[in-house]
Amino acid sequence: MIGGSWTHLLARELVRPLLGTGVTPNHLTTLRLLSGLAACGCFALGSSAGMVWGGVIWLVSALLDRADGELARIGNMMSEAGHRYDYYTDILVNTAFFVAIGVGVVFFGLYLLLVRKISERRNWARIVYLVLVLIGLPFVILSDIAELKGSLLSGSVNVILLILQLAGTALLFTSSSNRWFRSRS
């Protein structure tokens, strides 16, 4: 028996019902690839919700990474091609993980920089912020619609947060805000 860690034992028990069903280790590797890339997409957002969802999806992806090997071993489905597929999937997903975290940190840092520059009455910062909000708006709306379908409470909270963000963005462009930006001290 290879791998005695708790994750190996858990994966072994989870894949046991898959024996004889036609599900192969490569199917699980493909799910690991898709879930790993989805987690990376969440991490790249740089938001707290993105980090939470990315973390949850990453744990599923990591479990699937264990599960494919366990299914191959206990189902006697090991192959050189399957091993290579798993190996290159791991390299791709793990590399994407670090890139996504870096992108997320950059986006979060950009957000903090824009907030600071807006507080210093830099007009360009509010314009850049508006452009970024508008670029991201279709993605946020699609995400909120999907979230509403899955959970009314969570989706409603996301919609309320979106409305507050849009209201706050709109306040940056009122006539009193325009006067405030022009009166740099």
**For residue 185, pLDDT beyond 60:** no
Please tell me the pTM assigned to this model. 0.69
Higher pLDDT, 37 or 133: 37
Please tell me the CATH superfamily of domain 1-103, with its number.
Answer: CDP-alcohol phosphotransferase transmembrane (TM) domain (1.20.120.1760)
pLDDT at 1 over 60: no
DSSP assignment string, 55-71: HHHHHHHHHHHHHHHHH
Q: How do residues 15-44 score in pLDDT, each as one tens digit?
A: 999 999 999 999 999 999 999 999 999 999
In the structure, what pLDDT confidence band is assigned to residue 139 with cuts at 50, 70 and 90?
confident
Helical axes 123-150 vs 80-119, angle rounded to 10°: 130
- Tens digits of per-residue pLDDT, 109-122? 998 999 999 999 99
**185 compared with 86, residue with greater pLDDT:** 86
> With 90 as the cut, is the pLDDT of residue 52 above it?
no
- CB of 77 within 8 A of CB of 24? yes
pLDDT score at 90: 96
Q: Is 61:86 a contact under the CB 8 Å cutoff?
A: no
Domain boundaries, the chain: 1-103, 120-185
Q: Quick check: 57 and 1 in contact, CB under 8 A?
A: no
Cβ(66)–Cβ(8) below 8 Å: yes
Q: Tokens in use for 21?
A: 């069903």
| Most distant CA atoms of the chain, gap in Å | 74
* Mean pLDDT of the chain, nearest integer: 91
C-alpha to C-alpha distance for 3 and 152, rounded to whole angstroms: 41
CA angle 47, 49, 53 (to 5 degrees): 120
**Closest-CA residue to 19 (of 61, 60, 77, 66):** 77
